[in-house]
Amino acid sequence: MAAAVVVLAAATGCSSSHDGGEPSTATAPATTPAEETETPALAPGEVAVSPGGVTTAVGTPAASTEEEYFRACLTARQWMDEQGGDPKSLIEPYLQMVQTAEEPGPGTFGARWAELPPERQSAVIVAVQAAADQLCG
């Protein structure tokens, strides 16, 4: 429950300003998707990687526009719905998919994962966690 509140707070912090569309920032919650428990906050510049080699948290404030966040969240949610089962257990598999994809898509703001700066990677993770908590809309 506390993790859902943290994700909601982070998700609402990703909305853009209405004056120029500049990305806003929010701190991405550090979670371990497979265990669904909170992990210690990451120091700036740190990256949490699962035993399977998937980046699950980035110690950088998230930055995306409201539209980017919404698209990334909905894309992740649709994928999770197609897979079935507990959405929280699908966070890491989804992140693995977007992190290894050859083609960019809306789940990574139209860029390949490796091309995203840390604040954008953090924003993708926030959107995916929100999708698992059904907080896209």
Structural domain boundaries enclosing 54:
2-132
In a domain? residue 90: yes
In a domain? residue 71: yes
Nearest CA to 33 out of 47, 48, 18 is that of 48
In a domain? residue 137: no
Q: How far apart are CA 93 and CA 11, in angstroms?
A: 20
Evaluate whether 35 touches 89 at the Cβ level (below 8 Å): no
In a domain? residue 111: yes
In a domain? residue 27: yes
In a domain? residue 100: yes
Q: How far apart are CA 73 and CA 45, in angstroms?
A: 24
In a domain? residue 25: yes
**DSSP reduced 3-state for 63:** strand
Per-residue pLDDT tens listing for the chain (137 residues): 333 333 333 444 443 333 444 444 443 333 333 333 344 588 999 999 999 999 999 999 999 999 999 999 999 999 999 999 999 999 999 999 999 999 999 999 999 999 999 999 999 999 999 999 999 97
Q: How many domains does the structure of the chain reveal?
A: 1
